[in-house]
Amino acid sequence: MEEGEGEPLVLLHGLFGALSNFSALIDYFKQYNKVVVPLLPLLEMDIIHTSVSGLAKYVHKFIEQRDYNNIHLLGNSLGGHVGLVYLLRNESPRIKSVILTGSSGLFENAMGDSYPKRGDKEYIRKKTAYTFYDPAIATDELVDEVFSITNNRLKVIRIIALAKSAIRNNLGEELNKIKIPALLIWGKNDNVTPPFVAEEFHKLLPNSELHFIDKCGHAPMMEVPIEFNKILFKFLEKQSAIATQGQ
């Protein structure tokens, strides 16, 4: 999906993410940027390449094929982790800034202590609600979306492979290599990647700024889109101003 004109804002979704997670962000930023959402093949890759590194390679190919430059790369949850691995493996001059929200890569609470039996919709409802500060955000539609994924045995195997790959692939010792401007937008009530994770990212990324949003969980761009968009807009405006001064 690609909408709008301007510097590309490439959005990387999480493990249970889809276009719907970014709808308010897309609607707002397509006025200012070329908003691009590659649908990551989380559940389609062969099992050997079903990993954070495999997805980072996919992002690399996608960006090279589209020949984008001056990219602002935004990732939520697993998408943030994939974006960071892409940056570390490619040191691409195409990327102008990175934006992380509820990103894995340092620490995350798993979907659950034990994976649900297929068909356990109530469990999925609880776990989907756990993602948000306001459980009402976990609409029937969203629960159905997650349930349909977890109700497929092969998809569940891939989800577990990706979750394990994310836990194994800890980036703590490498993050100081990422020198481009980084924006961290975090829910103060994130149960999956709690606030201390954001603090750690902020400490390890040398050119980063951190913004917490109160009464907000693991997906701020869904739960508090107005505040999220305001913080992101200011950050992108600042990057444009810096670029103009440097010319």
Domain count of the fold of the chain = 1
Range of the domain at 213: 2-245
Do 36 and 2 form a contact (C-beta atoms < 8 A)? yes
**Average pLDDT of the residues in 213-236:** 96
What pLDDT does 46 receive?
Answer: 74
What CATH number did the domain enclosing 32 receive?
A: 3.40.50.1820
Query: Considering the entire predicted model, what is its pTM?
Result: 0.89
Bridge partners (DSSP) listed for residue 71: 95
Average pLDDT of the chain?
Answer: 87
pLDDT tens-digit readout, 56-72 = 999 999 999 999 999 99
pLDDT tens-digit readout, 106-159 = 987 654 445 555 667 888 888 888 889 998 888 888 888 888 877 777 777 787
Closest CA to 32 of 84, 66, 72, 92: 72
